[in-house]
Amino acid sequence: MVNFKNEEDGNILIMFAFILMFLLGFVALSTDVVLAMNKKDKLTEVAYLVREARLDITEEMLHSQQGQQIALDNAHEILKRNGIDPSQFELVWNEQRGMSPNGNYMISLTGTIILRDVYKTTTLKALGIDEFPIKVELPVWQNFTDQQPIWDGRTPTINGVY
């Protein structure tokens, strides 16, 4: 033990310092990545809120001339309540009208809720990454057959009942 202390010359201390610096740097970088993932999860949750809130106003939308505008206004209200700027939100609709196989008139609305944000990094700036975009896309669709709303947003929902 005495010989080891005399011959060591601080090599172990230097190795420990380098390992500690590496671990602290790794923790700092991983914290930045986790914060970005947390921001994306928040956007995803708000997108789910926007999609599911349409269930509450389905009847109002069905009997309105401005159904899509009602959904958009409701979405903007939800976004503001959750601290997201409505300019980061986009709702893309594709409307198809026609006859169903059993002869009923059918309107099929398929769409995508898109939320965009930018994450400003802290420790990733050391690697030259100042910010990167975050984009969340959530599919949403609704069919109207003879004025009966049929919802399906990943989980089948009929008339608002799971």
Helix axes 67-81, 11-53, angle to 10 degrees: 150
Rounded alpha-carbon distances, angstroms, from residue 72 to 9, 51, 77, 87 = 70, 11, 9, 12
Asked whether residue 3 is assigned to any structural domain, the reply reads: no
Asked whether residue 106 is assigned to any structural domain, the reply reads: yes
The total of structural domains in the chain comes to: 1
Judged against a pLDDT cut of 90, whether residue 3 lies above it is answered with no
Please return the burial class of 153, using the count of CB atoms within 10 Å of its CB with bins 0-12, 13-18 and 19+: middle
Pairwise pLDDT comparison (77 vs 159), residue with the higher score: 77
Pairwise pLDDT comparison (61 vs 162), residue with the higher score: 61
Judged against a pLDDT cut of 60, whether residue 2 lies above it is answered with no
Start-to-end Cα distance in the chain: 71
Q: What is the pLDDT of residues 98-134, one digit of tens each?
A: 776 776 666 666 778 889 999 999 888 888 889 989 9
pLDDT for res 116: 92
pLDDT band at 141 (very low <50, low <70, confident <90, very high): low
Range of the domain at 75: 10-158
pLDDT for res 62: 64
pLDDT for res 160: 41
Asked whether residue 28 is assigned to any structural domain, the reply reads: yes
Q: What is the pLDDT of residues 46-96, one digit of tens each?
A: 988 888 876 666 666 666 677 667 777 888 898 999 999 989 988 777 767
